[in-house]
Amino acid sequence: MSFEVVIPSSGRPSLGALLEALDGLHERVVVVDDRECAQPPLAVPELVRVARGPARGPAAARNAGWRACGSGWVVFLDDDVEPEPGWPVRLEAELDAAAPAVGGVQGRIVVPLPAGRRPTDWERNTHGLEAARWATADMAYRRVALKAVGGFDERFPRAYREDADLGLRIQAAGWRIVTGTRTVRHPVRPARAWVSLTKQAGNADDVLMRRLHGRDWRTRAGVPAGRRPRHLAVTAAVAGGLAARRPGIAGLAWLAGTAELAAARIAPGPRTPREVTTMAWTSAMLPFAATGSWLWGHATVRRRVGAPRRWPQAPGGAVRRGTGGARGPRAATRPGPRGRPDAVLFDRDGTLVVDVPYNGDPARVEPVPGAAAALARRRAAGVPTAVISNQSGIARGLLTEAQVRAVNARVEELLGPLGPWNWCPHGPEDGCGCRKPAPGLILRAAERLGVDPARCVVIGDIGADVVAAHAAGARGILVPTPVTRPQEIAAAAEVAPDLPTAIDRVLAVGA
């Protein structure tokens, strides 16, 4: 199974030891130089490629790395991990054994703790990586799955929730994520005394996670609830006392909150004078740092949700060290089928039937001209089909799922069986991985039909249909209607004048 290894780096000394441990894989390694300013080139072995990162955080750096790859799998490693002996062999075996529906294979992370004493608060924090789901310290994803969901969401600017967000979107797109047996060690990095305060900035990302994935995102991502309710309670009590001009009450609330938090952090630790002092003064400030970041997250979440996700561009930009030449772009996926496809996926409204916005009435279903006869020719040819349809009326409260099913049933009464129905109930602002132009519906339909998405043809009436097809590696055909925008027609790689022509084109061997 083909794979490449992506290692974002800010130039840590540990990078050299990691690359030495990957000796024999150097032709498959891409190091993303994510330093902000021009500095001497990173010292890497001759065959290791280096891609320039945008210095916008780990999500953007990893996107730059996987877009510079062309293999079937992309393996992400942190630049301070230490692969254990046999890691490459186990990795290759795990990827070879992955079922087609598996989009990610997670490695096991071991965080060594000091012998002979209890771990510090920071060491315990890092040790939590051992139980983290989808941590990109060692995580392999199919490249087609990354492409399907748009890669890492660059609205997450720090190393905190960007990996959990990606895992949730990969699963929402219909892929499975499994855990392998390969292991890396993740030593505890030195950190400044106030690291626990700077880490509270991640509370803003938790607000974004809830907005994008719903209130149960922690359960689905395996993320513990944490102490935020207590931090909010302490902050509210102090603020309330000050607002009521009762500084004594505010001071008592602050002291009580600090004492409870410090005790909880000191008890499992080494209890050295340095650790006790650090826990005491950081516990006094931590509730306000956490609450401030949480409030900032709420104040900015609308702007962040509305920001572009930076969908992947064509891969490229990597440089092969020691050769002096640029490494050009490579195709991310196989091109869509140009002969007889394995399956044809249809948009519903505007493609199979006349578009009636938010239609929940089966009596209003009207097939487009020539649809019945063209679909009969498709059935005679034996090519499987499915339907992929955005149904945001459900999210908007204009439709129920029962109404969507009733309309779908009426479509099949008029046009015959169409295979599995796949629809997205979300609105444009929900940030899901299934709503076109995201390709989640295509991937889901292909999996249900048991075919490769790259061997499918998608037929739709708007630009989102063909963009989703392209993202999944499928062939897209646009059949314009009066509501199709001119720029969508101009941007489409393939246009057919009507549905019968599109169907006959894809059924023709060699078309």
- Bridge partners (DSSP) listed for residue 73: 3, 142
Bond into 437 cis (ω within 30): yes
For the question of residue 349 being annotated catalytic, the response is yes
H-helix segments, 30-118: 58-67, 87-97
If DSSP codes are grouped into helix, strand and coil, which group holds residue 9?
strand
For the question of residue 347 being annotated catalytic, the response is yes
C-alpha to C-alpha distances, 129 to 159, 185, 410, nearest whole angstrom: 12, 10, 51
Q: Which amino acid is present at 244?
A: A
- Distance between start and end Cα atoms, the chain: 31
Task: Spell out the residues 6+ positions from residue 95 whose beta carbon is closer than 8 angstroms to its own.
Answer: 1, 3, 72, 73, 105, 140
* Largest Cα span, the chain: 84
The active-site residue out of 205, 347, 452, 465 is 347
The active-site residue out of 138, 205, 349, 452 is 349
Distance CA 279, CA 273 (A): 10
Exposure of 398 by Cβ count < 10 A (0-12 exposed, 13-18 middle, 19+ buried)? middle
HSE on the CB side for 89, CA within 13 Å? Answer: 3
H or E stretch including 107? strand 102-110
Distance CA 417, CA 376 (A): 10
Distance CA 89, CA 84 (A): 11
Distance CA 152, CA 58 (A): 9
Distance CA 331, CA 336 (A): 12
Reduced DSSP (H G I as helix, E B as strand, rest coil) percent helix, strand, coil of the chain, to 5:
45, 15, 40
Distance CA 82, CA 123 (A): 17
By annotation, the residues acting in catalysis are 347, 349
